[in-house]
Amino acid sequence: MATKTPASPRKKRGTRRSGKYVAKVDTSQARSNIEVLRMCLQELGWKECISGCAIDSDIYWHSAVFQEGNRNFGFSSARVNKFPEFDFYPKTWFLPEQNEQFQKYASSMHDEDRRRKRPLTTFIVKPSDGSQGEGIYLIRDPARYNATNRPHVVQKYIDRPLLIDGLKFDIRIYVLIFNLDPLEIFLYNEGLVRFATVNYQPPSATNLHQTFMHLTNYSLNKRSANYKHASDEDQINASKRKLTLVWSQLSQQFSSNEVERAKLLIEEMINKTILAILPELRIEYVSELPLTRKQNRCFQIIGFDIILTDQLKPILLEVNANPSLRIDFDHENEAGKFISQPSPIDEEIKKPLVLETLKFVMLRRNQLEPSIEIIASEDQNIVQNQVEEHNEAESKNADKIHKETQSKSMLKNATLMKKVEPNLTDTEEESQDSTEDTISEAVSVDKFINTIKSNKSVIQSPMSRILKATHTPIVTSVKSLKMIYPTTSPNKYENMLLLEKIAFIYIELVIRRGYKTMTNRQFRHFASISGVIDSSITIPSVDMLYAQIFYKWKSFVVKPSTTGLHFPAFIEALFLLAQRKYSSSGTLLSSVIELTESCVRQLNICVEV
């Protein structure tokens, strides 16, 4: 995996100039980020590694995906500016899979529109793998959807946007996810506002094709004859403006309380959006950076694209995992050739973002590094002990089976050659001893629980352990980055943390033990640990449920790389078990909470967010 640390001796990091430590940043994967990143490194006096470092870097900066290049990162506590498998889109219709649901909704909405004698509802279609506004178009009739080999996302079009000088606009908000465990979210105090270049009119049959009116993407509107480049960062009529300038302009249309409320709603939107995907992010993160290796710590700058309605209500359009950090633009000269020119407004917004992020990353890294080393060493010892215990148990079990096998008759041995129906496990070893698993389930579960309880440090929040190990006050904010999560109101998002607890269960039962997905044996462990097994819910019925969920979710994956339950499939299985076990709880939510809390108590998991 890209971030696993090689098992080589620790190398000396960084360089020193006149006795002062100089941080090193690997920019070999920075791509379009390179100009602003290099500008910041020069200002900080840090060393840039252009083609990768022969010795360990402090920060690895990626502008693409986390695993790209299949690289190994040398030093364990270096920071990598990407989370593995990080991507997110708002809840909409995904075509072609949800085309039927989309058509039914559109038909229902259009019937309602006709009854109320209002314009038909409009939808916006976007390629799910697109960027820079490419392939986006508006439709009313679902039959106008242009089905291709590419998947698409369809959203209900916001037809009453807030306008400034008659123009539609959207806002790019920059957010730094600094940690996943515990979650730390920082909001950058500046943003980029992008304007359309043709005065807005509500969508109609005659203007659906006018992209310069309905779409605000810079990559599209820069081709418009009406596009206005900012000659300086404060130009109030430019097609790109600073967010602080636009807030000032909006304060002339709305009261200060209304503007501040919109800002708070944006903060809540950001927190809720990230919390919604946090469970799967953490699972991917732990999977890519297992306890058996010293861990790189990741951070990521993401972009939230938001539109304001005419009532100043923020609406999330999409989340960009790789927002553009370019500080130039392409200008067509008299010869018809495009040349790159500096963009003062992009530099004014993006340079401080990158600069303050780099400074903050190194500041926190230097504060926590000694404790990270201690914790990483402890974790490796714990995992090694678990491996040794597992190997010892397997060895004893193998000896027992061998002795029993020798005492069997040749006829009995011959039956072992018959084809056996697989028990939906990851490995052949698990399939071969599935019968013994069922017989000795109670013994193995008790041992499993005792092993977990004896290793409490494995299941504590890593950052919590680091914070306890250091006596240095931890910096939680810098000049232009405001921490918005955790909040001063710890119970504000409590209802959203149920899936977070389920993710911790999945991590401890599956990922921490070296698996990518949940096997049948592990699902039995979960059921037994949670106290689900009784006279009405037997181990065979649990196995049957596992098989049903496994084959259902397998049909969703074209080329499954592993066998077992992925996290979303495990959630469904947990919900069904909760319904069966706690049918008298009244609601599905209360049943799931009861089952989850039962498992958490048995595992003695310290769920901290």
Indicate the helix (H) or strand (E) that contains 83: none
**406 in a structural domain:** no
DSSP classification of residue 8: S
Question: CA 286 to CA 379: how far, in whole Å?
Answer: 13
**388 in a structural domain:** no
Number of H-type helices and E-type strands within the chain: 17, 20
Given 350, 370, 390, which residue is the final one in a domain? 370
Question: CA 218 to CA 224: how far, in whole Å?
Answer: 10
Question: CA 249 to CA 576: how far, in whole Å?
Answer: 52
- Residue 590 domain boundaries: 441-477+496-609
Q: Is the pLDDT of residue 274 over 80?
A: yes
> Looking at the structure, do residues 307 and 448 belong to the same domain, yes or no?
no
> Looking at the structure, do residues 234 and 332 belong to the same domain, yes or no?
yes
> Looking at the structure, do residues 363 and 449 belong to the same domain, yes or no?
no
> Looking at the structure, do residues 464 and 364 belong to the same domain, yes or no?
no
Given 312, 336, 370, which residue is the final one in a domain? 370
Question: CA 377 to CA 374: how far, in whole Å?
Answer: 5
Q: Specify the number of domains making up the chain.
A: 2
**48 in a structural domain:** no
The predicted model scores a pTM of 0.75
What's residue 602's pLDDT? 85
Q: What percent of the chain has pLDDT over 90?
A: 41
What's residue 43's pLDDT? 92
Which pLDDT tens digit goes with each residue over 217-251?
998 998 899 999 887 656 789 999 999 999 999 99
Which pLDDT tens digit goes with each residue over 143-192?
998 887 788 989 999 999 999 999 999 999 999 999 888 899 999 999 99
Average pLDDT of 491-515? 87
Average pLDDT of 532-541? 91
Distance from chain centroid for Cα 360:
21
**314 in a structural domain:** yes
Residue among 574, 460, 443 nearest 506 (CA): 574
Question: CA 484 to CA 4: how far, in whole Å?
Answer: 30
CATH code: domain of residue 203: 3.30.470.20
Q: Which residue has the higher pLDDT, 489 or 505?
A: 505
> Looking at the structure, do residues 226 and 328 belong to the same domain, yes or no?
yes
The encoded tokens of residue 496 equal 């959203």
**340 in a structural domain:** yes
CATH code: domain of residue 542: 1.10.238.10
Question: CA 305 to CA 273: how far, in whole Å?
Answer: 12
> Looking at the structure, do residues 212 and 349 belong to the same domain, yes or no?
yes
Given 351, 370, 389, which residue is the final one in a domain? 370
**341 in a structural domain:** yes
**33 in a structural domain:** no
Range of lowest pLDDT (83-92, 428-437, 578-587): 428-437
Average pLDDT of 427-455? 38
What is the end-to-end Cα distance of the chain in Å, rounded?
27
